[in-house]
Structure 1
Amino acid sequence: MLAIDAAAYRSPWRRHHPAAKALLAGGLLGCALVLPPWPGAVVTALVALAVALCWARVPARTLLRAARTPLGFALTGSLTFLVTVGADGIGWADGGPRRAGEVVARCGAAVLCQLLFAGTTPLADTLPRLVRLGVPATLVEVAALIYRMLFVVLDTTRRIRDAQAGRLGARSLQATWRSLGGLGSAVFVRSFDRARRLEIGLAGRGYTGALTVAVEPIPLRTPFLLAAPLPAALAVTATLALERLL
């Protein structure tokens, strides 16, 4: 199990309805997208971080590990704003650092808002309820199967890497590349075989196009529902106040 999923199952917000948590995180996400990058995105990121660490009590290490990959993509992509390509060649773009900073600020705030929801709400609580909102059941089932297969792929990858390391598969650069090629092909073949066996198993159990699962009832608590919009309101208020001061 991924660390962010384990944190969601252990979260003190585990017993709150996913709709209320979606309202809270979605409100902050809207602030990250609508408010100006400075100071709006920065304020939204700070509010989301404070809510995640202090109110939802998501472990800081788990939050950092989950955020580093998407933030790395955002930082890498923002570097393209620093240069311009023209008839005279490659040069520094006018206003490039400002645009790069805006992209990183918005992406950082949006990532923290999404991780706030992911770190407090297991996917098993969310997917079955999407059908009630009008999402096609087939799409929800495909997402659930991909989610379950993901852990199988990760476990297979870990086992193969351990076996390669035990056989000195990384003793040189050439051996490392050879091991990576073997790892990719083995994971693909085993994942394809596991998916085929899963399809055969579902057909043998009379699969008719719908996977019926038991959905644990979670009450929609009024105090938490009323408090859910407060972080977004705080972000908007703080942004407007800072704009007046600056």
Structure 2
Amino acid sequence: MLAIDAAAYRSPWRGHHPAAKALLAGTLLLCALVLPPWPGAPITAAITLAVALGWARVPPRAFLRSARAPLAFVVTGALTFLVSVDTSGLAWAPGGAARAGEVIGRCAAAVLSQLLFAMTTPLADVLPRLARRRGLAGLAEVAGLVYRMLSVVLETVDAVRRAQADRLGARSWRARWRSVTGLAAQIFVLSFDRARRLEDGLGDRGYTGGLAVSVEPLPLRGRFLALAPLPGVVAAVLTVALSLVPSSVPGLG
């Protein structure tokens, strides 16, 4: 099981309705996208971390480890703003550092807000409810199948890598390269076979375009629902207040 899934199933917020948690995380995501990058992004990110680690009691190590890969991708992509390409070759882009900082700030705040929802809400609580909405049944079904296949692929990768390690597949660089290529080929074959068996199983069970699943009832608690937009409101108010401070001080602005 992925660390995100484990945290979601153990979350103290598991008993809250996904819609209320989506409202909370969605408000913070909106703040990350709409508010000025400075100071909006740092404020939104700080409030999201406080909500996740304090209110939702998400394990700090799991939260930060889950954020590590997407944030590394964001930083790597933002580095391209630092250079420009023209007929004379590569050069430092004017204003590139500021632009890169804005992108990193917005994306970091957005990633943290999405992780807040993902690490407090299991996908099994979300997809069946989406499938009940008109026009979203197909999307929910595809998302569920992709999620299931992703879990199967990760489990297969782990099993194959352990088998290769037991056979000294990492004793040298040449052996490691051979193990990686073998792993890629094996994963493709096994994933294709699993997908075919899944399709055969659905057909044998009379699949007609929809999967009937039981949904655990989760009530919408009024107090939590009322407090859900509060972190986003606080982020917006603090951003506006700090943005107005320099213009009100003589010699600044």
Q: 2:37 maps to what in 1?
A: 37
What do the CA deviations read for 1:14-65 (whole angstroms, capped 9, x no partner)? Answer: 0000000000000000000000110001110111110000000001001111
Residue of structure 2 equivalent to 1:129: 129
Task: Say what the alpha-carbon RMSD is for the aligned residues.
Answer: 0.9
User: Which stretch has the larger CA shift, 28-37 or 144-153?
Assistant: 144-153
2:99 is aligned to 99
Q: Please give the secondary structure, in 2, of the residue aligned with 1:181.
A: helix
Stretch of structure 1 that moved more, 85-94 or 99-108: 85-94
Tell me how far apart the structure 2 counterparts of residues 66 and 134 of structure 1 sit (CA, whole Å): 32
- Higher mean alpha-carbon deviation, 136-145 vs 231-240, is at 136-145
Which residue in the other structure is 2:79 paired with? 79
**In structure 1, C-alpha distance between the alignment counterparts of 2:3 and 2:93, rounded to whole Å:** 40
Correspondence for 2:162: 162
**Cα separation, 1, equivalents of 2:114 and 2:135:** 20
Q: Which residue in 2 is equivalent to 1:147?
A: 147
Q: Which letter does structure 1 place at the counterpart of 2:61?
A: R
Deviates further, 144-153 or 231-240: 144-153
Match of 1:228 in 2: 228
Partner of 2:7: 7
Q: Distance in 2 between matches of 1:140 and 1:131?
A: 6
Partners of 1:195 and 1:88 in 2: how far apart?
51
User: How far is 1:131 from its partner?
Assistant: 2.5
| CA–CA distance in structure 1, aligned partners of residues 167 and 80 of structure 2 | 41
Which residue in 2 is equivalent to 1:57?
A: 57
Aligned 8 A contact 2:18 2:126 in 1: yes
Aligned to 2:250: none
> What secondary structure, in the 3-state scheme, does the structure 2 residue paired with 1:133 have?
coil
Amino acid at match of 1:89: G
State the TM-score, normalized to the length of structure 2. 0.95
- Deviation at residue 225 of structure 1 after TM alignment: 0.4
Once residues 30 and 133 of structure 2 are traced to their aligned partners in structure 1, the CA distance between those partners, rounded to angstroms, is 20
Q: How many residues align?
A: 246
Contact 2:32–2:41 (8 Å) recurs in 1 = yes
Cα distance, 1:199 vs structure 2: 0.9
The residue identity in structure 2 corresponding to 1:226 is A
Shift of 1:72: 0.5
Deviates more, 1:54-63 or 1:138-147: 138-147
TM superposition shift of 1:133 = 3.5
Distance 1:138 1:9 in 2: 25
Q: Which amino acid aligns with 2:49?
A: L
Output one character per residue of 1:153-191: Cα deviation in whole Å (capped at 9) or x when no partner.
Answer: 111100110111111112222221111110011011001
Structure 2 distance, partners of 1:52, 1:135, is 32
The one-letter code matched in structure 2 to 1:57 is R
**1:117-153, Cα deviation, whole Å (9 max, x unpaired):** 0010000000111133334312211111111121111
CA distance in 2, matches of 1:119, 1:136: 23
